[in-house]
């Protein structure tokens, strides 16, 4: 489960430290009272104190970082799911409100959107004149006609394609059929969509 690796890692590190301290105290007291010789004390602390500390600490540190990475991955996935939900709930979402709602920077939002597009999980476009994301069916985006202004591109393209007429960035799913068409500028200047 998430974060359990972190907890186990911390317990192992703590156990290593505690064993080291107890062994050091125990042998140290023997040394002080003259019952243990100097070389015996060094051997004892090394074998029963330092060695467990290194082994437990090493495994613990590994599990801890591994658990932490899993946690971050999961948080990233959840954030992407929420981002997708925000846009798809109403078919569109303002970049600014996404940034506020999900506490993300502009670049982080863009990065996540691009990844969702690459994974084939999001199709749509962003109208940069209003900073608004629109969720559209793959069929609408992966055609030669711009869903924002109606202008016709020569090539469908793939991934993130900028419309040469209105500047909207279209998010086209990987593997979209590459049809060609004669370029036609939009009939009227693109209406500003609210």
163 makes contact with Zn ion (CB under 5 A) = yes
148 makes contact with Zn ion (CB under 5 A) = yes
141 makes contact with Zn ion (CB under 5 A) = no
Q: Which one among 20, 64, 125, 165 touches Zn ion, defined by CB under 5 A?
A: 165
172 makes contact with Zn ion (CB under 5 A) = no
**CA 163 remoteness from chain centre:** 28
The whole-angstrom separation of Cα 73 and Cα 167 is 33
Q: Which one among 116, 117, 149, 172 touches Zn ion, defined by CB under 5 A?
A: 149
CB of 171 to Zn ion, least distance (A): 13
Sheet strands side by side (includes 132-135): 92-94, 132-135, 124-127, 169-172, 159-162
CB of 127 to Zn ion, least distance (A): 9
The CA R_g of the chain, rounded to the nearest whole Å, is 30
User: Which of the ranges 47-55, 60-68, 107-115, 148-156 carries the binding residues for Zn ion, by CB under 5 A?
Assistant: 148-156
3-state DSSP call for residue 23? helix
The Cα-based distances of 169 to 7, 85, 155, 161, 165 in angstroms read 44, 20, 14, 5, 11
135 makes contact with Zn ion (CB under 5 A) = no
CB of 167 to Zn ion, least distance (A): 7
Q: Which is nearer to Zn ion, 80 or 153 (CB)?
A: 153
DSSP, residue by residue, 73-123: HHHHHHHHHHHHHHHHHHSEEEHHHHHHHHT--HHHHHHHHHHHHHTT---
132 makes contact with Zn ion (CB under 5 A) = no
Q: Which one among 126, 166, 172, 176 touches Zn ion, defined by CB under 5 A?
A: 166
The whole-angstrom separation of Cα 101 and Cα 99 is 6
- Considering only residues 24 to 53 of the shown chain, the ones binding Zn ion according to CB under 5 A are none
Which residues of this protein are in contact with Zn ion, per CB under 5 A?
Answer: 146, 148-149, 151, 163, 165-166, 168
């Amino acid at each position: 489960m998430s974060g359990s690796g972190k907890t186990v890692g911390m317990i192992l590190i703590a156990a290593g430290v505690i064993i080291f301290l107890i062994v050091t105290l125990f042998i140290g007291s023997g040394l002080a009272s003259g019952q243990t010789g100097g070389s015996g004390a060094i051997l004892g602390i090394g074998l029963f104190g330092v060695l467990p500390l290194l082994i437990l600490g090493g495994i613990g540190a590994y599990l801890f970082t591994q658990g932490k990475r899993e946690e971050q991955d999961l948080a990233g996935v959840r954030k992407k799911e929420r981002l997708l939900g925000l846009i798809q709930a109403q078919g569109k979402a303002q970049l600014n409100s996404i940034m506020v709602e999900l506490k993300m920077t502009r670049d982080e939002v863009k990065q996540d959107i691009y990844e969702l597009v690459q994974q084939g999980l999001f199709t749509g476009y962003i109208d940069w004149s209003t900073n608004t994301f629109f969720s559209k069916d793959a069929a609408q985006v992966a055609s030669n006609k711009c869903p924002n202004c109606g202008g016709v591109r020569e090539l469908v393209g793939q991934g993130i394609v900028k419309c040469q007429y209105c500047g909207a960035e279209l998010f086209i799913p990987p593997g979209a059929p590459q049809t060609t068409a004669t370029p036609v500028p939009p009939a009227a200047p693109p209406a500003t969509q609210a």
